[in-house]
Amino acid sequence: MKILIKSISVFITLIFTLCPVSSVLSQKKVEEGFLGKADLYKAKKNALEYLNDSVIVKKFGMISDLIWNYAELGMQEFKSSALLIKTLEDEGFSVEKGVAGMPTCFVASWGKGKPVIGILGEFDALPMISQKALTPVQDPIIPGAPGHGCGHNMMGTAGIASVIAVKKSMELYNIQGTIKFFGSPAEETIISRPYMVREGVFNDVDAVIDNHASSDFATRYGVDNSAIISAIFTFKGKTAHSAGAPWSGRSALDGVELMNVAANYLREHLFYTYRLHYVITEGGEAPNVVPDKASVWYYVRNTDDRLEDTYKRVIDCANGAAIASGTVLDTIRVLTGVHQKHSNKGMAETIRRNIELVGMPEWTESENNFAKSLQKELGAKETGYPVKISPWREPSTVQVGGGSTDVGEVTLIVPVATLNFPGQVPGATGHHWSTVTAGYGSAAWKGLNAGAKVMAATALDLLTDSKLLEAIKNEFAEYSKTHPYKPFLPEEAVPPLDLNRELMEKYRNALTDIITDGK
C-alpha cells in the first residue's frame, strides 16, 4: 500500500510539472468575484484564496481523477480511502482508521475543543457502468466493470480540500475549535452512516456539512429521500435429481420466486410513497439439481413512519413463500437501515449564502462543447453547463418517494444540510455511463473546487459565529423533540465487509493500470 501511495504522489507531482497550470481556472473571480466582497473576514478570504490557486485546483482534481480511475465499489475502497487519508495526514490531520468496524471508514481531525464542525465525504463507485472519460457515446473502459456514476470521486475529494483550507485558516488566525472529515464508505449501498452513528462518531459534533456532485449549485432544507431497509432473504430446501426424483427435492429458488410474486402483488396495496426492488443473488448452480439454497436481496423503501410496516409485510411474503414451497426461510440478513433526510434550515441558509458568494464556475468553450455533444447523444436539451445558480427552493410539502442516502441517519443526530455542487452535465442520468464520462477532467475539477469553497466558507462561518451556530443547534433541538432518533438498524447487524469483494477482485488490477487522459 505504501509503495502505491508513493507512486501516486510521484504521479501527481509529475502531472503538476508537465501541465501548464494557467488554463485551469479563470482568474476573473479573484479580481471581481468573491474576493472583492466587503463582508469577507480574513480567515474566510484566506481559505478561498488557497482553494482558488490553480495549483491547488489541479492537485485535488488529480486526486478526484485517480479515484475515478480506481472505481472501487462500496466496502472495497482501499486505494481511494488510502489516497484521501495520505493527503490529509500530509497536511497535519490526525486520522482514525477502520472506524465503526469498516476498514475503509475514517475520521480525520484537526484542532481541539469546541465547536466541532464536520464535513462528510464519499468515494465509492457503482457496478456495471464502466465508461471512458469525456466520451459522449457509450464506450466502456472494461465491459461490466464499475464506474463512478454518481460523482463520489469528486465528493470525497471536495470534502478533504475544504477541511484542509479550513485548517490553514484556523492555524493562521488562531481560530478555536475542531474541523473533522468523515470518510464514509459504501454510500451507494447506503451502508456506512448507520454504523458510524451507532459507534457514536458524531456525538461530539456541533454541525455537519454534506456534499453531492450535481449539475446544479444548490442546497435545501426539509424532509426528502426515502427511508430504507436493505436485507438479504435466504431460503433453504433439499437437493434432488431434477428429472429423476424431483418429488424428493424442495427448491429454495421456488421460495425466492414465490416471495417475489407475493411482493409484486403487495405493491398494489402499499401507500404510494413506497419503493420496492430486488435482485436474486443466489439461485442454484444448474437446472438438473434442485437448488437447496437461494437468496434474494431486497431494498424496501418508504417514509420514516411507514417503513417498518412495509418491511414487516415483505417478511410476511417471505414466510408465506417458505410455507408454499416447503422450504425454510433460513436467514434475513439486514445490511442497513436508514431514515429519510431531514435537512436543517439554518445550515441550508448558511450554505446558500456561500453558494451566492462563490458563484457558478466559468466553463470553457471546449467544456461546453463536450457537454452539448453528450446532451445531444442523450436527447437532452443542448444547453452546455449551467451559467447561473438556481433560485432558492422551499421544501416540497408532498412526499413522493425516491432514492435514499445514509446521510439521512446523520441528520437525526446533528444539524446537517447537503451542498449540491456543479460539474456534472445537465441531462446526464445518475448511475449511468453518461454521469461516469463527465465526472473526470477540468469541468469536474472546477465543480468540486467550487463545492470545496462553499464548504470551507460555511465551516468557517460556523466556527467563528457562535450566534449562528447556536441558532442552528436550537432549531435542531426543537426538531428533535418531534423526531427523536430510533435506529432502523437491528442491534445484531454488522457491516457487510464482504459486499462487492469478489466483484471488485475481478476488475481491480485492470482498472488500476489504466490512467486515462482527461483532456
455 binds Zn ion (CB under 5 A): no
CB 127 to Zn ion: min, Å: 14
Residues of this chain, 354-393, that bind Zn ion according to CB under 5 A: none
Which one, 117 or 190, has the nearer CB to Zn ion?
190
Which one, 74 or 111, has the nearer CB to Zn ion?
74
CB 406 to Zn ion: min, Å: 10
CB 129 to Zn ion: min, Å: 13
Residues of this chain, 309-338, that bind Zn ion according to CB under 5 A: none
Choose among 245, 97, 249: nearest CA to 182: 97
- Binders of Zn ion: how many residues, by CB under 5 A? 1
Mention every residue, 6+ apart, whose C-beta is less than 8 A from residue 453: 34, 47, 48, 51, 52, 162, 165, 354, 358
CB 426 to Zn ion: min, Å: 17
CB 402 to Zn ion: min, Å: 13
CB 152 to Zn ion: min, Å: 6
Mention every residue, 6+ apart, whose C-beta is less than 8 A from residue 29: 35, 52, 359, 362
Which one, 150 or 223, has the nearer CB to Zn ion?
150
Which one, 310 or 420, has the nearer CB to Zn ion?
420
Position among 105, 126, 150, 307 found at the interface with Zn ion (CB under 5 A): 150
For Zn ion, which stretch binds (CB under 5 A), given 25-33, 98-106, 148-156, 470-478?
A: 148-156
For Zn ion, which stretch binds (CB under 5 A), given 146-154, 157-165, 217-225, 363-371?
A: 146-154
CB 124 to Zn ion: min, Å: 9
For Zn ion, which stretch binds (CB under 5 A), given 49-57, 144-152, 419-427, 482-490?
A: 144-152
Mention every residue, 6+ apart, whose C-beta is less than 8 A from residue 219: 343, 348, 351, 352, 355, 417, 418, 419, 420
Which one, 67 or 150, has the nearer CB to Zn ion?
150
Which one, 108 or 150, has the nearer CB to Zn ion?
150
Give the residue ranges of DSSP H helices in 139-203. Answer: 152-172, 192-199
For Zn ion, which stretch binds (CB under 5 A), given 149-157, 364-372, 454-462, 477-485?
A: 149-157
Which amino acid type is present at position 176? Q
Give the residue ranges of DSSP H helices in 483-519. Answer: 501-512
Which one, 122 or 292, has the nearer CB to Zn ion?
122
Quick count: other Cβ atoms within 10 Å of Cβ 127?
19
User: What does the block give as the cell for 69?
Assistant: 480511475
Mention every residue, 6+ apart, whose C-beta is less than 8 A from residue 121: 84, 155, 156, 157, 158, 159, 160, 181, 182, 183, 184, 211
Look-up of cell digits 493500470? 513
Quick count: other Cβ atoms within 10 Å of Cβ 173?
15
Site mask for Zn ion (CB under 5 A), range 202-231, x = bound:
------------------------------
Which residue number has the CB closest to Zn ion?
150
Mention every residue, 6+ apart, whose C-beta is less than 8 A from residue 305: none
CB 212 to Zn ion: min, Å: 6
Q: Do 110 and 179 contact (CB within 8 A), yes or no?
A: yes
How far is Cα 493 from Cα 490, in angstroms, rounded to an integer? 5
Which one, 109 or 225, has the nearer CB to Zn ion?
225
Which one, 152 or 250, has the nearer CB to Zn ion?
152
CB 386 to Zn ion: min, Å: 19
CB 407 to Zn ion: min, Å: 10
Which one, 284 or 439, has the nearer CB to Zn ion?
439
How far is Cα 112 from Cα 180, in angstroms, rounded to an integer? 10
Choose among 227, 226, 222: nearest CA to 395: 222
Which one, 249 or 401, has the nearer CB to Zn ion?
401
Look-up of cell digits 459534533? 205
Q: Do 436 and 130 contact (CB within 8 A), yes or no?
A: yes
Q: State residue 95 phi and psi, 5-degree precision.
A: -125, 125
CB 341 to Zn ion: min, Å: 12
For Zn ion, which stretch binds (CB under 5 A), given 66-74, 131-139, 145-153, 343-351?
A: 145-153
The contact set with Zn ion (CB under 5 A) reads 150
